[in-house]
């Protein structure tokens, strides 16, 4: 079965009566649409404040959005009249393009702003730039920023809904959700799956958001890295205290041991600066000790999923034959990213009252 057919097949087996798109098309009773978000949720800043039920609600709506993505005409009027502004103060391909595509498919007006060419170059503060954009009636602001906490600052000070598209080394919640969704679509369930995250955990916002999401959904998470690239609190036995959210997360510095029986392996991008900062002797040494290659992958489950948030350093944290091999779902992650971001925009932009009565296709 081709990937497109697999997606179609899975979509057909979902509960269509629970779909926001079904509500939009008027084909099903609107009151059956899924409450994808907590009724008081206005922002998506990280996954620490998501419940497993809320995450499952996002997945169900993403299933409906995937169905739209498989149509010949990829357009629904769900967010007509809403304005989404994306503010990217750091480089991005996947996140930025997928938010833009998601907004446009849902018929929102999407305006893209980047650090270069705006008044920030004249010294305007982030707050004043965001306030200016809000004054232009932005309903949702999607922000990527190199400073951890920047989206929280906007959420505290603006009326618009804020979505964190990656803040410093802190969080990347929509990446976490699309990774979880990709596991669910391919393996059926997340609970009990052994998920091995390999590499620069210390600086990775993707690893942090995935940790929240995976542990909430009941996965057995293994973090594998040289000790210099692990956060200190993971090396501290205090973490084992009862009630600590990551008490069951395993730490393994030997990649071969970590990979044994893995259902998912997720190497992280190794930033070149790590060597200069003294975290690693050389990138070649890192690749030799921790790089995911075909030989190492044989230690994992035969059905292992190879994932990568991108962008990849092929030949460093992952070999090209693994990145593009039969177990890789890296491109599917990108496709799922659009469906997940559509589900998030829908959930955030549509107040509970309207979510139930979305109206019929015009
Ligand atoms: N995964 C991710 O955030 O990729 P981009 O930097 O291309 O958005």
Mean pLDDT for each consecutive 10-residue tract of the chain (362 residues)? Answer: 43 42 42 62 96 95 95 95 95 96 97 83 88 91 96 94 96 98 98 97 96 97 94 76 86 97 97 78 92 98 98 96 98 98 93 47 34
* pLDDT value of residue 360: 33
* pLDDT value of residue 117: 75
The CA 110 to ligand 1 mean position distance, Å, reads: 19
* pLDDT value of residue 1: 45
Beta carbons of 265 and 300 less than 8 angstroms apart: yes
- Choose one of 87, 91, 95 to mutate for the ligand 1 pocket test, by most ligand atoms within 8 angstroms of C-beta: 95
The CA 92 to ligand 1 mean position distance, Å, reads: 5
- 191 and 77 in one domain? no
Closest atom of ligand 1 relative to the 91 alpha carbon: 6
- Choose one of 88, 89, 90, 93 to mutate for the ligand 1 pocket test, by most ligand atoms within 8 angstroms of C-beta: 93
Closest atom of ligand 1 relative to the 98 alpha carbon: 8
Closest atom of ligand 1 relative to the 93 alpha carbon: 7
Does a structural domain hold residue 167?
no
Does the model's pTM come out above 0.85?
yes
- 324 and 216 in one domain? yes
Closest atom of ligand 1 relative to the 165 alpha carbon: 3
* pLDDT value of residue 225: 95
Contacts 24+ apart (CB under 8 A), 230-235: 230/201, 230/202, 231/201, 231/202, 234/201
* pLDDT value of residue 10: 39
- 338 and 306 in one domain? no
- 297 and 208 in one domain? yes
Q: Distances from the Cα of 177 to the Cαs of 122, 173, 213, 224, in angstroms?
A: 36, 6, 7, 21
Does a structural domain hold residue 220?
yes
Does a structural domain hold residue 163?
no
- 184 and 119 in one domain? no
Domain of 246, CATH number, reads 3.40.50.1370
Atom 6 (ligand 1): residue with closest C-alpha? 92
Does a structural domain hold residue 139?
no
Residues with C-beta less than 6 Å from any ligand 1 atom: 92-96, 166, 172, 175, 309-311
- 314 and 252 in one domain? yes
Closest atom of ligand 1 relative to the 95 alpha carbon: 8
Does a structural domain hold residue 323?
yes
Type and span of the H or E element at 164? strand 161-167
- CA dist 150 and 136 (Å) reads 20
Domain that holds residue 275: 173-329
* pLDDT value of residue 70: 95
Sheet holding 161-167, edge to edge: 109-114, 83-88, 140-145, 161-167
Closest atom of ligand 1 relative to the 90 alpha carbon: 6
- 314 and 351 in one domain? no
- 321 and 187 in one domain? yes
Number of domains present in the structure of the chain: 2
Atom 5 (ligand 1): residue with closest C-alpha? 92
The CA 353 to ligand 1 mean position distance, Å, reads: 33
Does a structural domain hold residue 165?
no
**Among 145, 2, 122, 6, which Cα is nearest to 66's?**
6
Does a structural domain hold residue 200?
yes
Contacts 24+ apart (CB under 8 A), 270-273: 270/199, 270/200, 270/313, 270/316, 270/317, 271/200, 271/203
Does a structural domain hold residue 159?
no
- 178 and 119 in one domain? no
The CA 97 to ligand 1 mean position distance, Å, reads: 9
- 321 and 207 in one domain? yes
- Choose one of 86, 91, 92 to mutate for the ligand 1 pocket test, by most ligand atoms within 8 angstroms of C-beta: 92
* pLDDT value of residue 355: 53
- 100 and 179 in one domain? no
- 94 and 43 in one domain? yes
């Amino acid at each position: 079965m081709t990937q497109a057919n697999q997606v179609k097949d899975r979509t057909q087996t979902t509960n269509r009566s629970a779909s926001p798109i079904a509500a939009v098309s008027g084909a099903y009773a609107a009151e059956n649409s899924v409450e994808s978000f907590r009724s008081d949720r206005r922002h998506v800043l990280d996954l620490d404040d998501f419940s497993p039920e809320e995450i499952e609600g996002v997945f169900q709506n993403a299933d409906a959005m995937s169905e739209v993505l498989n149509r010949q005409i990829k357009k629904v009027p769900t967010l007509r009249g809403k304005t989404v502004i994306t503010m990217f103060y750091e480089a991005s391909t996947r996140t930025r393009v997928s938010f833009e595509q998601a907004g446009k498919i849902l018929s929102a007006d999407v305006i893209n702003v980047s650090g270069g060419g705006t008044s920030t170059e004249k010294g305007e503060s982030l707050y004043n730039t965001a306030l200016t954009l809000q004054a232009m009636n932005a309903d949702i602001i999607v922000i990527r920023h190199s400073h951890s906490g920047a989206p929280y600052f906007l959420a505290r000070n603006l009326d618009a809904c804020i979505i964190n598209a990656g803040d410093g080394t802190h969080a990347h919640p929509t990446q976490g959700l699309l990774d979880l969704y990709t596991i669910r679509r391919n393996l059926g369930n997340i609970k009990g799956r052994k998920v091995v995250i390999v590499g620069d955990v210390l600086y990775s916002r993707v690893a942090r958001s995935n940790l929240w999401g995976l542990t909430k959904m009941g996965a057995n998470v293994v973090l594998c890295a040289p000790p210099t690239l692990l956060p200190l609190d993971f090396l501290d036995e205090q973490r084992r205290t009862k009630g600590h959210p990551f008490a069951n997360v395993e730490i393994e510095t030997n990649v071969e041991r970590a990979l044994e029986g893995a259902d998912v392996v997720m190497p992280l991008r190794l930033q070149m600066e790590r060597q200069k900062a003294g975290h690693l002797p050389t990138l070649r040494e890192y690749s030799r000790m921790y790089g995911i290659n075909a030989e190492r992958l044989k230690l994992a489950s035969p059905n292992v999923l190879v994932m990568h948030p991108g962008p990849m350093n092929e030949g460093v944290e992952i070999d090209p034959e693994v990145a593009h091999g039969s177990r890789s779902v890296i491109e599917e992650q990108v496709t799922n990213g659009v469906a997940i971001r559509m589900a998030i925009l829908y959930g955030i932009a549509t107040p509970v009252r309207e979510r139930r009565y979305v109206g019929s296709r015009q």
